[in-house]
Structure formats: structure tokens, C-alpha cells
Amino acid sequence: EFPNEVELIEVGPRDGLQNEPEPISVEQKKRLIRHLAEVGFSRIESTAFVHPKWVPQMADAEEIAAYCNELGFTQIALTPNERAIDRAIAMGVPQVAVFIGASTQFNQRNINRTTDESLAACAAVFEKARRHNMFVRAYISMAFSCPFQGEVTFEEVNHVCKRFVELGADEIDIGDTNGRANPRMVYERFSRLRDLYPTTTFVGHFHDTYHVALANVIAAMQAGVRKFDASVGGLGGCPYSPGATGNVATERLAYMLSSMGIATGIDDEKLKALVPFAQSLSTRL
């Protein structure tokens, strides 16, 4: 059974661009975001308040956030620690995202903490967000497999998920960071999560490294998921996930959904027209 509508959250400006080795000018980023807003997304992941030493491409987070506030969609920005949420509060960002991997080795590389240290540190971010009426999206990365540890068990995913639910996450985003999930795993994991947390909203975030991301979206929809992240032109990848490529391309996902009669609120033609410009920003496509 398929839904009548799903929400597509565009993550290109953040996940799509964060790993680009050459600096992309603020003007080019603004142009991309302005066109994405015209395509009809109600939410766009705009930037990340991370350490510019680790992710130089996101060094302009303040300027991008200020620009997004003028455009009328709801922006989501990554805030991995207290310093980050303070920066997001100062910029009036309405929605923030924390991200913790299901695997400790990945967390040590990505956010410089073990899983349990990251979970402990996260409480302060949630508390500040709550005090400022911010919506919190909580990512569980490497939720299917991990390039450093290999297999990731459901129990490891649930360990993080349980804590995110306790902390009051407004939505929990399940990341196939390295694109190694398959439809069977996706269906089984999302079904188990739905049964354990029936009132929690889950989001699917599939990287398309092995070209099964669209199939994974179908499997997640069958397990009840109604929100998906995607990146225009298939841009992206996590700098701490070697070999991983971009998110599922928004235009391919939007086309598949609209051909299935599933409404997304996206203007397919405008989106398609934006793909060459989006891809021109990447040195890897």
C-alpha cells in the first residue's frame, strides 16, 4: 500500500556540497538555494554549524542561514554540539539536526566522540533547542553498515534511537550513509522501528552509492515512512565515509513518486531545469 503524498526534504545545499574539495562561492550557493525554494520544497537542509577546520565548505554557515531566512521555506541546519546550537540560535534557524552514528568508530572520526559520549553531549543540544522552540531532527548515520566496522546491528541502531526518543526528537532520520542498504534490510529495520516507536516520525536518508536508493525508498514507504531526504543532481557524500557518493537524486525520486500518483508539492519541470547548474557545482559529477 502506498501513500497519497510524501514530503521530500532537499538536502543538497548541506549534504550535497559539504564534501566538495574546491571552495564554492556564497553567491553560487545562494543561487542554488533560491532556485530550490522556487521548486516548491517546504524544508531545505541549508548548512552545518560545524567546525570549519573539519568541513571548510560549511564555513559560510552564518551567511547562508541569514539568506535562507529571507526566502520563505523552513531551513534545517546541522548542529552537532553546544557551540553549534548557539550559532544556530544566534541566526534564528527554526530547525536543527544532530547526527550520531550507530557505530562508535564512525562517531570518533565524524564528531570526535564515541557513541555514548555523543549521546551524553546531545542532551545539552536538545535542551537548548527546546528552550528556543526549535524543531529537532535527529540523524542516526551508518544505520545499515559502516565502512570501518562492517555490519551494523539493529540493536546498535536502536540504542541511539531509544535515546533520541527519550530526548524528544521531533523526527528521527535513518541514514544509509555509505549506500550499502538494500530493500529487505530497509523494510525490516523501518518496520521494527515503527513497531517499537509507533508515535515517532521516521525519515529515510539514502545515499545512492550502489544505485539501490530508489528501491530503498519503495521499501521504506511500504514500512510506513512518509518523509525522505534527497539531493538535487545526486550531489553529496559524507567526508568521513570513504567512497560514499551522493544522496538519491531529488529529480529521480520526484519523478518516480509523481509517476506513482504520490504528491510531493514539487514542480518536476523546474527541478529538472536546475540539475545542470547543481551538478556544475560539483567536481565529482
Where does this chain bind ligand HMG (CB under 6 A)? 15, 18, 48-51, 54-55, 80-81, 83-84, 99, 110-112, 139, 141, 175, 177, 205, 207, 238-240
CA distance 164 to 228: 19
> Is there binding between residue 20 and Mg ion (CB under 5 A)?
no
Closest-CB residue for ligand HMG?
Answer: 175
Cβ–Cβ < 8 Å for 193, 187:
no
Q: Which of 15, 20, 45, 208 binds Mg ion (CB under 5 A)?
A: 15
Cβ–Cβ < 8 Å for 274, 35:
yes
Q: How far is the CB of 4 from ligand HMG (least distance, A)?
A: 27
Strands (E), 79-196: 95-101, 135-141, 145-146, 150-151, 171-176
Candidate segments 13-21, 26-34, 142-150, 270-278, binder of Mg ion by CB under 5 A: 13-21
Which residue among the candidates 68, 122, 146, 238 is catalytic per the annotation?
238
Q: Indicate the SS3 state at residue 127.
A: helix
Give whichever of 101 and 187 is closer to ligand HMG, judged by the CB atom.
Answer: 101
Is-catalytic flag, 122? Answer: no
Give whichever of 128 and 174 is closer to Mg ion, judged by the CB atom.
Answer: 174
Which one of ligand HMG, Mg ion, none is in contact with 139 (Cβ closer than 5 to 8 A by kind)?
ligand HMG
Identify residues 23-42 at the interface with Mg ion (CB under 5 A).
Answer: none
Q: CB under 8 Å to 32, separation ≥6 — which residues? A: 12, 13, 232, 274, 277, 278, 281
If 0-12 CB within 10 Å is exposed, 13-18 middle and 19+ buried, where does residue 198 land? exposed
Q: Indicate the SS3 state at residue 272.
A: helix
Q: How far is the CB of 35 from ligand HMG (least distance, A)?
A: 22
Q: Which residues are catalytic?
A: 238
Per CB under 5 A, residues contacting Mg ion are 15
